[in-house]
């Protein structure tokens, strides 16, 4: 699965969860903490890990900034690395709306599909 589809799936889950729990005053936000350094890279070999750490990866505290910003900001839709707001496209917004509101229902359909796929394992 590509990174873009993975992030889109996270957005769909967050939007659908928010829609399902709107009456409960629950806020659901899709987050992307960025490229963080962690033990995840330990199996990549010393040279590769060194290059990644020097050129692409950031300290874990930078990911914490993303979560804190999302938790404390009054108006958030999707937060990308280090607390930057990400502009959601019209197509992504339409995917979260029902057809009666000119939406495509992709997010609720994705939620339902996921539940169907997980049901045998629960």
Rounded to a whole number of angstroms, the distance between the first and last alpha carbons of the chain is 23
For tokens 């330990």, name the residue.
42
Question: Does the structure show a pLDDT above 90 at 40?
Answer: no
Q: Where are the domains of the chain?
A: 88-122
Better pLDDT: 90 or 120: 120
The pLDDT, as a whole number, for residue 110 is 92
The pLDDT, as a whole number, for residue 49 is 83
Q: H or E element: which one contains 112?
A: helix 106-118
The pLDDT, as a whole number, for residue 112 is 94
Contact 120/110 with Cβ under 8 angstroms? no
| Tens-place pLDDT, residues 58-80 | 898 888 888 888 788 776 655 56
3-class DSSP assignment, residue 68: helix
The pLDDT, as a whole number, for residue 119 is 95
Question: Does the structure show a pLDDT above 80 at 46?
Answer: yes
Q: CB burial class (10 A; 0-12, 13-18, 19+) of residue 46?
A: exposed
The pLDDT, as a whole number, for residue 11 is 86
| Alpha-carbon gap, residue 3 to 17, rounded angstroms | 21
Contact 104/12 with Cβ under 8 angstroms? no
Contact 30/78 with Cβ under 8 angstroms? yes
């Amino acid at each position: 699965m590509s990174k873009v589809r993975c992030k889109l799936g996270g957005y769909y889950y967050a939007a659908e969860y928010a829609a399902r729990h709107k009456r409960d005053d629950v806020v659901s936000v899709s987050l992307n903490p960025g490229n963080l350094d962690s033990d995840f890279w330990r199996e990549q070999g010393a040279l590769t890990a060194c290059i990644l750490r020097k050129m692409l990866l950031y300290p874990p505290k930078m990911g914490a900034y993303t979560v804190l910003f999302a938790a404390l900001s009054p108006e958030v839709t999707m937060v990308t690395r280090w607390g930057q707001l990400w502009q959601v496209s019209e197509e992504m917004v339409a995917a979260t709306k029902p057809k009666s509101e000119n939406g495509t229902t992709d997010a609720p359909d994705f939620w339902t599909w996921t539940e169907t796929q997980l049901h045998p394992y629960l």
